[in-house]
């Protein structure tokens, strides 16, 4: 190897204080660079907020149609959910999929009127988030505009829900977010969604699936 070959990594040869100024300027010029990106409001103030994650039943057939089906599994799923399952269901393990989605499994029985719901979707399970690392992953997933794109579908079959406490000074209820991996988009409640796009990118889809695994299975 040629010992005279220099590293392509830029070096700071000025005084330490000046070097910090150079690095700060670089962050301003390239805000998406690792270690330089900042979270969008209101997520930048939510890293230590109370958070709850919900597993949701993304689709429930109408009671009348379910009652008239010859078998519990005969009611057809929406095409977006069918495509999502066929594509691998965003890396969610079978134990975290809403009941009735996998071929050969029965759709869940009709929910009683008083079944707990999160913005209209039946709650299957919920967990309070106490791990600071998981909290950081959640605000990182929602706190960057690059994680979102124009939605590809007009549906909302939410598999996950997120409730994030807003700062006490805001005097608002929790910032709630429905996340539909099958429809590849999100929907916000109780706060102004900071981006013009609500569609989630493939990378964001993977991040949300990984967060669900960590919250509900510890992996």
Most trustworthy range by pLDDT among 10-14, 23-27, 79-83:
79-83
> Are 31 and 75 in the same domain?
no
Asked whether residue 2 is assigned to any structural domain, the reply reads: no
d(CA 86, CA 80): 10
Average pLDDT for the chain: 81
* Shared-domain flag, residues 26 and 128: no
Place of tokens 């707990």: 116
Residues whose CB falls within 8 Å of the CB of residue 170, separated by 6 or more in sequence, listed in order: 42
Task: Say if residue 128 is in the same domain as residue 31.
Answer: no
151 and 177 fall within a common domain: yes
Sign, CA dihedral 130-133-134-140, equals positive
* Same domain, yes or no: 118 and 162: yes
Residue 4 lies in a domain: no
Q: Which domain holds residue 22?
A: 11-38
Residue 72 CA to residue 125 CA, distance in Å, equals: 22
Instruction: Specify the higher pLDDT residue, 88 or 199.
Output: 199
Q: Are residues 31 and 84 in the same domain?
A: no
Q: What is the pTM of this model?
A: 0.78
Rounded Cα–Cα distance for residues 180 and 178 (Å): 7
CA atoms of 187 and 151, how far apart (whole Å): 11
In a domain, 102, yes or no: yes
Would you call 90 exposed, middle or buried from its count of C-beta atoms within 10 A (0-12, 13-18, 19+)?
buried
* Range from 18-22, 97-101, 170-174 carrying the lowest mean pLDDT: 18-22
Q: Same domain for 200 and 109? A: yes
Q: Is residue 180 assigned to a domain?
A: yes
Report percent pLDDT > 90 for the chain: 54
Confidence label for 55 from pLDDT (cuts 50, 70 and 90): very high
Question: Tokens 């909290």 belong to which residue?
Answer: 135
Band the pLDDT of 5: cuts 50, 70, 90. Answer: very low
Q: Which helix (H) or strand (E) holds 215?
A: helix 202-217
Q: Is residue 6 part of a domain?
A: no
- In the chain, how many domains are there? 2
**138 pLDDT more than 60:** yes
Same domain, 88 and 21: no
Alpha helix locations (H) across 88-167?
Answer: 132-142
The answer as to whether 5 is a domain residue is: no
Q: How many CA atoms lie within 13 A of 7 on its CB side?
A: 4
Reported as a single tens digit per residue, the pLDDT across 163-203 is 999 988 778 999 999 999 999 999 999 999 999 999 999 99
154 in a domain, yes or no? Answer: yes
Helices (H), 30-177: 63-68, 79-86, 132-142
Residues 19 and 69 placed together within one structural domain of the fold: no
* 26 & 66 share domain: no
pLDDT score recorded for residue 166: 92
196 and 96, same domain (yes or no): yes
Q: Are residues 20 and 82 in the same domain?
A: no
- Decide if 1 is inside a domain: no
């Amino acid at each position: 190897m040629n010992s005279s070959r220099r590293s392509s990594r830029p070096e700071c040869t000025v005084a330490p204080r000046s070097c910090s100024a150079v690095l700060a300027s670089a962050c301003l010029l390239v805000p998406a660079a690792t270690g330089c990106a900042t979270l969008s409001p209101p997520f930048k103030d939510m890293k230590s907020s109370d958070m709850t994650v919900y597993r949701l039943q993304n689709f429930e057939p109408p009671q009348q149609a379910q009652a008239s089906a010859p078998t519990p599994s005969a009611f057809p799923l929406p095409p977006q959910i069918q495509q999502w399952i066929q594509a691998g269901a965003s890396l969610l393990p079978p134990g975290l999929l809403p009941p009735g989605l996998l071929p050969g499994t029965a759709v869940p029985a009709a929910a009683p009127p008083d079944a707990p719901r999160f913005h209209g979707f039946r709650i299957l399970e919920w967990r309070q988030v106490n791990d600071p690392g998981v909290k950081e992953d959640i605000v990182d997933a929602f706190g960057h505009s690059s994680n979102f794109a124009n939605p590809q579908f007009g549906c909302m079959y939410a598999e996950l829900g997120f409730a994030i406490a807003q700062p006490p000074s805001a005097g608002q209820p929790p910032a709630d977010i429905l996340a539909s991996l099958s429809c590849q988009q999100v929907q916000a409640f109780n706060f102004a969604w900071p981006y013009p796009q609500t569609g989630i990118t493939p990378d964001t889809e993977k991040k949300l699936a990984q967060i669900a695994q960590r919250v509900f299975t510890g992996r």
